[in-house]
Structure 1
């Protein structure tokens, strides 16, 4: 299996990025939106696609689900291993049977997955009928190489939103994107990928002020 981009920054991510202040859009600030959209379970399996270091596993358990995770990065999984059962796998080829999980979540990872439409199809495949999928990701309209967020009170949007390009361009040197890059999907392409995968939207949410940083959605397999 190929080396993952996050292997080179796994220690920094766990020790510095997660250990720093909690800011809008950071993994540690996403508890309320995850609670709102995932809701409570009754012990069923909740698969985290792109689980990274497993930072969300504790909350998934608190909500009554049994968390399991997959990630391509062996470096990140070193930290996740003590937090939830994990497997190293490509999110576009999940090592789960059809209809075998009750819920699935993808937390701030869709820009790390150039084949995210294929990931959504895989999520729909492994969900049981009626199973819920929660997507929490950077907001396509206000985050990306085209967005300068250096002044949080006046985000500047430049050309590039429609390009759907991969880039390492970032407004800050203290985040993740300047280190591993990001793939951008315009809003219609992202939403249409859910529909093409057979997922039905139920609820949306935005977080971050005054300009949203996160766009989240709950969808369900029919």
Structure 2
């Protein structure tokens, strides 16, 4: 997953401009999805690919104790003070087996070419009965094949059915054109959770009028 270290070069921009412009708003529904699919709880919640740690406050507000891992030292520099962190490859998380009751991945699966390995690793560290919440860009409406210049009429070109890495983007104000992104069609993404031995429980979408985010709650069998 060496591509994730590309965030070292844009960490300050990501923190101050990309996220800073959003303020307390929830333009693509991430906070709503996290509240609805993770929900209130207690114990440790591991955020895989925590970036700058911007979700830590909401995780705490739900009753959980946030922990974060990320490969990018630049992003983790901003995360310090927001949650306990470790710099680590998400395919080899420094957490023992069956250790945490909850884990989340928020807007990171496209940064991880080996996301199936990451989900298997998440399943390893989850306790039996533990929950994994995935929130990411919508595989059917976002990608190098999708022109979202007009949010009310997204243009879908050929390319959705393939699996590939791309820097192609309809805008130069986002992340994909700077660090690239991995596209997987929806069935392949859902099979990732099943292949890791997790049970799919709920789904949701965020943003509009054409969805921007797609979310999954999956559980490790008790």
**How many angstroms does 1:97 deviate by?**
0.4
**Pair 1:40 & 2:43 matched:** no
SS at match of 1:162: coil
Partner of 1:140: 139
Shift of 1:23: 6.2
- For residue 12 of structure 1, what is the aligned residue in structure 2? 13
Is structure 2 residue 108 aligned with structure 1 residue 105? no
Shift, 1:163, TM fit: 1.7
SS in 1 for 2:218: strand
Change (3 A) 1:148 1:23: farther
Match of 2:75 in 1: 76
The CA distance in 2 between the partners of 1:151 and 1:110, in whole Å, is: 25
Please give the secondary structure, in 2, of the residue aligned with 1:163. coil
- The answer to whether the Cα contact below 8 Å between 2:30 and 2:213 also exists between their aligned partners in 1 is no
Q: How does 1:44-63 map to 2 (within 5 A)?
A: 44-63=43-62
For 1:12 and 1:50, the matched residues in 2 are separated by 17
SS at match of 1:136: strand
Counterpart of 2:27?
24
| TM-score, length of structure 1 as denominator length | 0.95
C-alpha deviation, 1:208, in angstroms:
1.4
Distance in 1 (alpha carbons) for counterparts of 2:210 and 2:51? 26
Count of aligned residue pairs for this structure pair? 218
1:211 aligns to what?
Answer: 210
Q: State the shift of 1:32 in Å.
A: 1.1
Distance in 2 between residues matched to 1:55 and 1:45, nearest whole Å? 17
- C-alpha distance in 1 between matches for 2:92 and 2:113: 14
Distance 2:125 2:9 in 1: 30
Aligned partners of 1:178, 1:198: CA distance in 2, in Å? 34
Any idea what the Cα deviations from partners look like across 1:33-90, whole Å, max 9, x if unmatched?
1000001112x00000000000000000010000000000000000001100000000
Q: Provide the alpha-carbon RMSD of the alignment.
A: 1.3
Gaps in structure 1 of 5+ consecutive residues: none
Name whichever of 206-215 and 8-17 sits farther off.
206-215
Once residues 8 and 20 of structure 1 are traced to their aligned partners in structure 2, the CA distance between those partners, rounded to angstroms, is 19
Q: Counterparts of 2:138 and 2:110 in 1: how far apart (Å)? A: 10
> How far apart, in 1, do the equivalents of 2:190 and 2:33 lie?
18
